[in-house]
Structure 1
């Protein structure tokens, strides 16, 4: 009887909505925390085409008013599907309302206007700070039950907004960029799309916020205030399923303080040289699924955020209850990333069955003093990586700052980088209880770097059943409770493991594969309770211990 009632309820829902997007319940299997089932979107059985509201394809006529009229009319009818058929559709900003499914059919190409006058200045949050920037090409605020679906392409015309560094393109590309117009920096190393952009850049001491000029002067640097392409703020029941999102002015997809979010079957692209050309930045959201997507972008690919510094701590909303599965990342500064704007915290995040090909860093964790926030209960497994040019797994608590790690070639004593003592306050970031399993990387530069803070060590980081074939191996600095279980480190250069001012370190089952000696270097007067493989401790040439390390600190 119960089963019959469920079937009747499902049929009734389908009759009412006309548009239900089935959820793969297998996505919830083998999750390490209690994950609520994400509520799916459903829409009324009303379908209209943009052509019914005066929409004209061809890429020469702006369809801004047609989109606005169609969405308003559909909203008055209780919502439904707005179809964008095959063709090129030029438009200014599109604002979604509750119960609207923007359906971009295969062969449809929405391209946003390059006219900056189409994008008014609005209050936003960008890079974790409350600020003012241009309106996003696609936006929704406090909407419920919204979707962007279909197999079409959505292009943000980011090439009209972005500056370009000469060092990031070929000589022929640079010549073509300069010929296109715009302004060069005084040293000729940077190209700006306009004088307005250049003024904004020169008026900024914090990279993306022109804080050297007054609020009243922002209109004079409008071109510099690049928007994210898709801005969803305070929305519930969000579905992005199918389209290609590309060429964004800044970040591609930015759900902020949203709940019940599903991102699947997406292709997210940006030129590799695009500054702030992130894939998706999930900020202060809860109950989220991100699966079966492909990313090839200019900055971080899949990034978890929760606000920056005081603004983020005041908001106090973590990103939590997130499942990320079956994604492929090509270029990106990081494949999966937490930070650096994580002042509201992040917890209960599962990442599995992903492939990273040539991302700058594979699994990237970054923050700095001043952020605050707690990142905990992160579970990552079954990740395959190749051609990672820096770290496969990288923790950097000194983002935008310097680390006290000893570089290869420095002496064990008398040449340590200085460490200033800082008090622990609400501005101190905390990273703890982070678990990795079945991580595989080949043809990459460095396996693992774990850089904590002297006043707040990285805590309880576990890596197991993993193998790395890299140029360099392992560095641990200011960490407490690091375990590598059944891990193979095959490396070509340097020391297998450098441990500095860290305690409760268990590497006893690590297999080091290299002819280099020493295999392990232990330094720092705060280091203690280090367990190493017997083949390392029994060979004096394999183990180097600094004179400031306490007696019996290494076993």
Structure 2
């Protein structure tokens, strides 16, 4: 019973071990080893839950009862079934979800409310969330995104982008959407949100879409946001997109998409302040985490940076993109990003900075510590010639400022090229610091491990020896490129133990 009830997440990881890293035997075995470790943890937790559940049954108290962690607990509870929801995988539940949220919004000033989605397959289109609200998915609940493209509402492009990412016009609203909210939680017991993205990817490749594809979860202009303990699969495009928001926690997600799927970024904090992204496992067709802040003249005008961002304990697989990308839409600025304990397997690059003439903005005060990288094309990649402009009205004199980029305590193996660092002529990227970095090159690595143009910086204890533009400072300087010791405000956001109780008798 425990194996049956608690193996769902592990089965999905096993499947992706085979589909993503095969036929590379080394990577497949490493992936399975990680899967077995997770399975053991799940089993131990599951035995405890089974014992507790047996006690509850004998006392015959409450049919639906569980605890979970959240930034806020709720005084009122309901199930989607109370609003006519049917989890048969065929009945469209969009109206039921929206009616449930609308009804529960009346409790916002009275302790808030939580909506429970029980086991089943819940087909739905987009619905909007409300403040002081929790959406909770049972471990065997699957939200299935509607594949009727014509039923998806269209909204305006983001003001800091001024243009759709896929097409010039607007964009299809995200599956789970919220704007101007306070205190909102989307969580579960690793319940699943399935974007059924294959149809969208096909239409995108055929250039048949009039508008930009939807995301799975998007929260805008909001504060105190938690997205956690869910499995997200096959998003039409980006998976999780907090934008113009503050005090955001994204935690404990498993995000899976075919590695060839277009633009299926994992988590994209965009013009956000005080964000904490931790303990996530991502297999993606694009960057696992992409930090953004607006596009060209629109992002410059909007002027809302992403700052005070923590990324830690990330496991990433993305053969054609980065574990962490900064940009390319960074025209509002990116500052004070702290990334540590990053594991990337069969991923194109570790941390990549993407910008270009016309972007303006800045990327500065970036700190990366403790990366473990396996099979990479580039460990370090900074690109000053990334094109992809919103339109032809960008300012060619808007040059980005890239400075204060710090890397330390990094180990990588089977690497094709250690670093590709390309600044902009007349606009060099400065303050690049690397310390205590060991890179084992692949058998068929590039002849020259480093390529450096228009960059300035220093290094210490870096193997293989970097280019002359990054001179070695000697072993006595191993303490440089230090990671900040102060705490950010988002670290003070603590999770409470919340309860859901529902008696059907």
Residue 134 to residue 21, structure 1, CA distance change in 2 (3 Å): same
Q: 2:409 aligns with which of 415, 427, 438?
A: 438
Q: 2:463 aligns with which of 488, 505, 521?
A: 488
Match of 2:339 in 1: 351
Q: Does 1:475 align with 2:475?
A: no
SS in 2 for 1:69: helix
Q: TM-score if structure 1 supplies the norm length?
A: 0.67
1:324, distance to aligned residue in structure 2 (A): 0.7
1:508, distance to aligned residue in structure 2 (A): 5.1
1:110, distance to aligned residue in structure 2 (A): 0.5
Residue-by-residue CA offset, 1:168-192 (whole Å, 9 max, x unaligned): xxxxxxxxxxxxxx8xxxxxxx963
SS in 1 for 2:437: strand
Residue-by-residue CA offset, 1:259-299 (whole Å, 9 max, x unaligned): 00000111112111111111111110000100001010111
Residue 498 to residue 436, structure 1, CA distance change in 2 (3 Å): closer
Runs (4+) of structure 1 exceeding 4 A deviation are 18-22, 496-499
Distance, in Å, in 2 between the alignment partners of 1:497 and 1:50 is 58
1:426, distance to aligned residue in structure 2 (A): 5.9
Residue-by-residue CA offset, 1:366-416 (whole Å, 9 max, x unaligned): 10100001111111000000011x211100111139xxxxxxxxxxxxxxx
**Higher relative contact order (Cα pairs below 8 Å, separated by 6+ residues):** 2
Match of 1:64 in 2: 94
- Runs (5+) with no aligned partner, structure 2: 1-64, 165-169, 389-394, 476-505
Match of 1:153 in 2: 192
1:225, distance to aligned residue in structure 2 (A): 2.9
SS in 1 for 2:91: coil
Which sits farther off after the overlay, 246-255 or 379-388? 246-255
- Runs (5+) with no aligned partner, structure 1: 1-17, 23-39, 164-181, 183-189, 201-220, 402-423, 490-495, 511-555
Residue 123 to residue 19, structure 1, CA distance change in 2 (3 Å): farther
Distance, in Å, in 1 between the alignment partners of 2:159 and 2:325 is 17
Distance, in Å, in 1 between the alignment partners of 2:185 and 2:455 is 43
CA RMSD for the aligned pairs?
2.2
Match of 1:73 in 2: 103
Distance, in Å, in 2 between the alignment partners of 1:20 and 1:371 is 46
Match of 2:361 in 1: 373
Give the length in aligned residue pairs: 390
Q: Does 1:137 align with 2:124?
A: no
Q: 1:393 aligns with which of 380, 386, 393?
A: 380
Q: 2:430 aligns with which of 440, 459, 468?
A: 459
1:240, distance to aligned residue in structure 2 (A): 0.7
SS in 2 for 1:248: coil
Residue-by-residue CA offset, 1:419-440 (whole Å, 9 max, x unaligned): xxxxx98610111011111011
Larger-gyration structure (1/2): 1
Q: TM-score if structure 2 supplies the norm length?
A: 0.74
Equivalent pair of 2:160/2:293 in contact (CA under 8 Å): no
